[in-house]
Amino acid sequence: MEKIQINSAGYYGKFGGAFVPEMLYPNVEELQRVYLDLMYEEKFQQKFKSLLRDYVGRPSPLYLAERLSNHYGTTIYLKREDLNHTGAHKINNTIGQILLAQRLGKKRIIAETGAGQHGVATATVCALTGLECIVYMGEVDIARQAPNVQRMRMLGAEVRPAKSGSRTLKDATNEAIRDWINNPADTHYIIGSVVGPHPYPDMVARFQSVISEEMLWQLEEHTGKKNPDAVIACVGGGSNAAGAYYHYLNEKDVRLIAVEAAGMGVHSGESAATSVLGTEGVIHGSRTLLMQTPDGQIIEPYSLSAGLDYPGIGPLHAHLIDSGRAEAIAVTDEEALKAAFFLTRTEGIIPALETAHAFAALERMKYAAGDVLVVCLSGRGDKDLAAYEKYLDKM
Ligand SMILES: *Cc1c(COP(=O)(O)O)cnc(C)c1O
């Protein structure tokens, strides 16, 4: 198998690149030019690492889930990103990008958010650094993720509703891009996943790669083994998965399992299972797999989980799936809800609805009794209690 890495033009195989309106060339080119040098400057790394440790609470534990393991007849570890400050992996990336924005002299931060986790993580680092913060969010998501909207407002961010299309994540992303076009000089756009024009997918993957960097030594400490047999993560845009896979991308004995949202069923017309339904095209600045009609109109995605309700996936994941390096599993709303309750009542951990999809995949995967599996527990479920309660009433 060919080595999995990004090339200098921002492509993983045939996926990636930077397709942006001319007005944004200067911003995107500046980022492309400086991101690696800035990110790996010693002073930057020191600041980044000390904030991850003392502010975010890293390293996040790698927890042996004994009762879950017994149930499935194998060994399952959970990478506890839910224990991070703000309750998900998103903060790893926003800490990195806010430091970058400061170095570039930007005064104003914009972001898009689906479940509100990225919005909260962005509002948090803006409060931390005193930068202005505007978060675009679909009207539908504002309604279904009310606790996170309240947190963003408490943190001093302005939450601007996106009122077009399905009024969810992709529409919020369109609004954020529009804002950036109108304010290119003083504004940094903090993209929340491994999507968007180069260098965002690579930059976000590198900031999130702290997840698997820790897994390397944690797993060895726990098991004496260097590599797990499989790493399982849910994929919206793909940032928690990219972080959890990163240091195993070229370790062929590690299976990479990407779990997508099938909504009401992969072929129900109400789904977000991009790796099954997607075809090649350009969305939000990169060439990737996306759900579109034969003439290129975006098909409205659907998932009960706001963080997975996106019609594309990042170019890294498009490449991993296209090349056969990663295996995709699509999980319905119902399966995810069931898995959320099962995890909660087996281990006492309430997962985010997004994360619950990764756990539902345990029902579908094949593995051997001696296998060591790691599930990326990308976030906690406080924001989803209303959805869980509704399901409880039907159980
Ligand atoms: C945002 C989010 C996701 C989906 O985003 P990725 O970029 O695919 O990781 C998954 N889990 C949680 C908890 C989230 O907040």
Q: What is the pLDDT of residues 74-99, one digit of tens each?
A: 999 999 999 999 999 999 999 999 99
The answer to whether residue 70 scores a pLDDT higher than 70 is yes
Out of 147-161, 162-176, 202-216, 253-267, pick the least confident. 162-176
Percentage of residues in the chain with pLDDT exceeding 70? 100
pLDDT (tens digit per residue) in 121-155? 999 999 999 999 999 999 999 998 888 999 999 99
The answer to whether residue 102 scores a pLDDT higher than 80 is yes
Task: Work out whether strand 158-162 and strand 62-64 pair parallel, antiparallel, or are unpaired.
Answer: unpaired
The answer to whether residue 309 scores a pLDDT higher than 90 is no
CATH classification number, 12-51+90-203, choose in 3.40.190.10, 3.30.565.10, 3.40.50.1100, 3.40.50.150: 3.40.50.1100
Atom of ligand 1 nearest to the CA of 194: 7
Is any ligand 1 atom within 6 A of the Cβ of residue 145?
A: no
Could you tell me which residues are beta bridge partners of residue 280? 289
DSSP secondary structure letters along 41-61: SHHHHHHHHHHIIIII-PSPP
Per-residue exposure over 272-291, b if at least 16 CB sit within 10 Å of its own CB, e if not: bbbbbbbeeeebbbbbbbbb
The answer to whether residue 1 scores a pLDDT higher than 80 is no
What is the residue with the minimal CA distance to atom 1 of ligand 1? 307
Is any ligand 1 atom within 6 A of the Cβ of residue 352?
A: yes
Atom of ligand 1 nearest to the CA of 351: 13
Cα–Cα distance for residue pair 112/122, rounded to 1 Å: 9
**Average of per-residue pLDDT across 254-272:** 96
Is any ligand 1 atom within 6 A of the Cβ of residue 379?
A: yes
According to the model, what pLDDT value does residue 394 have? 82
Is any ligand 1 atom within 6 A of the Cβ of residue 376?
A: no
Ligand 1 centroid to Cα of residue 263, in Å, is 16
Ligand 1 centroid to Cα of residue 85, in Å, is 15
Which residues have a catalytic role annotated? Answer: 90, 112, 378
Task: Work out whether strand 230-234 and strand 255-263 pair parallel, antiparallel, or are unpaired.
Answer: parallel
Looking at domain 57-88+209-392, its CATH architecture is 3-Layer(aba) Sandwich (3.40)
Cα–Cα distance for residue pair 319/234, rounded to 1 Å: 16
The answer to whether residue 356 scores a pLDDT higher than 90 is yes
Token pair for 200: 């965002």
Give CA angle at 253 (247, 254), nearest 5°. Answer: 50
Is any ligand 1 atom within 6 A of the Cβ of residue 212?
A: no
Atom of ligand 1 nearest to the CA of 90: 15
**Average of per-residue pLDDT across 180-193:** 96
The answer to whether residue 260 scores a pLDDT higher than 90 is yes
**Average of per-residue pLDDT across 342-362:** 98
Q: Domains of the chain: which residue ranges?
A: 12-51+90-203, 57-88+209-392
State the DSSP code for 382. Answer: G
Cα–Cα distance for residue pair 101/108, rounded to 1 Å: 9
pLDDT (tens digit per residue) in 357-386? 999 999 999 999 899 999 999 999 998 999
**Average of per-residue pLDDT across 96-122:** 96
